[in-house]
Amino acid sequence: MLNLDKNTTDRVNQWLEGDYDEATKTAIRQLIDTNQTEELSDAFYRDLEFGTGGLRGLMGVGSNRVNKYTLGAATQGLSNYLKKQYPGKQIRVVIAHDNRNNATTFAQIVADVFSANDIYVYFFDALRPTPELSFAIRELDCQSGVMLTASHNPKEYSGYKAYWNDGGQIIAPHDKNIIAEVNAITSVSQINFTPQPAHIEKIGAEMDVLFLDKVKAVCLNPDAIKAQHDLKIVYSPIHGTGITLVPQALKAVGFTHVSLVEEQCVIDGNFPTVVYPNPEEEEAMTLSLKKAKAIDADLVMATDPDADRVGIAVKNNHNQFILLNGNQTGVLLFNYLLNQWEAKGKLKGNEYIIKTVVTTYLIDKMAAAKGVTCYNTLTGFKFIGALMTELAGKSTFIAGCEESYGYLIGDHVRDKDSVVSCTMIAEMAAYYKTQGKSLFDALMDVYLTYGLYQENLLSVTKTGKSGAEEIAALMSGYRSNPPATLGGRKVVIIKDYQHSVEKNLLTGTETVIDLPKSNVMQFITEGDYIVSARPSGTEPKIKYYVSVNTKLNSVKDYDQQTAGLNALIQSLKADLL
């Protein structure tokens, strides 16, 4: 069969001869008849990996694609695990989906398989944001949930995110145990696709109302919103689920002048107006910025397709719109929340915030100044959610964030939430406007108080098996022969999260890192420059997170000092590559 290795050929034959539908077999034969060797090889050379966050991949036929059968196997494996965890109990799950092509069909398949396994399914009647799924799991006292989404990946992708009973993405030990159950599904005959319609209940508007009530309850300064209700806000859902709740949430808290980017309010899994549906990318914000300039907006916000992340743009001191990075938005939010909690007498000494180890340490500095505990978790909001669950009833949660544009204010969910984030960002803009300031002015105030911090992310992609080996060699080298200096400054602390060891090179002392093991290395220099190296677990890619800082004496020095820090960031990167 064409020029395929034996393992790939065996998988192709298994699908052609097995109990797969005729449309699938026809699609495979067409690939064979048209000599699509490369496509066949990529579609069948392995089974699509059910990782610790679920599935994500290209849509199409094959064992390495997102389709009816790979989703069915994932759901059957999850169902089997749930039955072992809750013997004799009526298990309940929630299912939601984003705007991806085939999302409705895929969600129905997942609902059918759950119901076929005697699991009761609450099924959202149309697309909804990821955070509402997390909320619904908690609200309906469910044991699990699934979100059909590929986040900000290109249109060819789909995905499957699995959640546990606290509304957070699945973590240890459940993650590895579920993976084992999914891997045990070796034949399509082991998947029960025959639905029990009586086990599927549609939900929708009533859950929206409950969710929006929680969002409104987070508001700290309703008077500021009332005074600036006509704040000029531009919002785009980038063709995704944000359109279902973000405009409603902004209206619910009192904003009356929200201008939508109409071209991007069209729900379309082809994302026709962008190259990449990611609010981190300037290109994806082009239409939003165009509209903002046309109406002289105060604030620009855009959410990713499943509406768990938000990117914003504000006017700088040159009256030009600039995109803030995820760290800067997080700094603004945390500074506002900490100051407002303090001003309103809400800080009782038992409050905490959470961020990830690769998110700006300016936030740690701000929290310390207010006497608020700042926890650092591994990368991934699932770890923030898990810590919230662990601390529930013991301490008071204020907010959580990660540098990749994910924020949570309030404890109504266990995942990042762009809906509540958009309302709080807008409230923050309204509050500062009542003080005669912009969000950029507020950011400068933070820098003047705590220091000017600049962060940058470098993602290096290698290719194939050799690329993965090269990245492994890099990480091994960082451990066996770590850099003595970075950016001209001596490295004083090395944190190895894989071996759970933090070593102070000045004193020679070692301390245990009390976090799950992760293949991350972190180097801290004199003056608290920080470089973190983190390989991807699923592809030959390594990410470098770099943070530098300096004192800012005057806003007029900001541009010059930022340029200097950016040059410094490049030198730190060069020292590691």
Residues known to be catalytic: 151
Side chain identity, residue 195? P
Helix (H, G, I), strand (E, B), or coil: what is residue 523?
A: strand
Cβ atoms within 10 Å, residue 463? 10
How far from the centroid of its chain's Cα atoms is residue 407's Cα?
Answer: 9
Q: Is 158 left (phi over 0), alpha (psi -120 to 50) or beta?
A: beta
CA 225 to each of CA 40, 127, 429, 457, 570: distance values in angstroms, whole numbers, following the listed order: 56, 29, 9, 35, 41
Answer yes or no: are the C-beta atoms of 366 and 334 closer than 8 Å: yes
Asked whether the beta carbons of 240 and 150 are under 8 A apart, the reply is no
Residue 377 one-letter amino acid: T
CA distance linking residue 558 with residue 259, whole number of Å: 31
Q: Quick one: tokens of 21? A: 């539908």
- Strand partners of residue 461: 541
Q: How far is 516 from 505, CA to CA, in rounded Å?
A: 23
Query: What token pair was written down for 29?
Result: 């034969």
CA 255/CA 258 separation, integer angstroms: 7
Asked whether 343 and 431 are in contact (CB, 8 A), the reply is: no
**The dihedral sign for the CA sequence 179, 184, 188, 189:** negative
Structural element, H or E, at residue 576: helix 558-576
**By the 8 A CB rule, do 37 and 2 touch?**
yes
In the chain, the amino acid numbered 326 is G
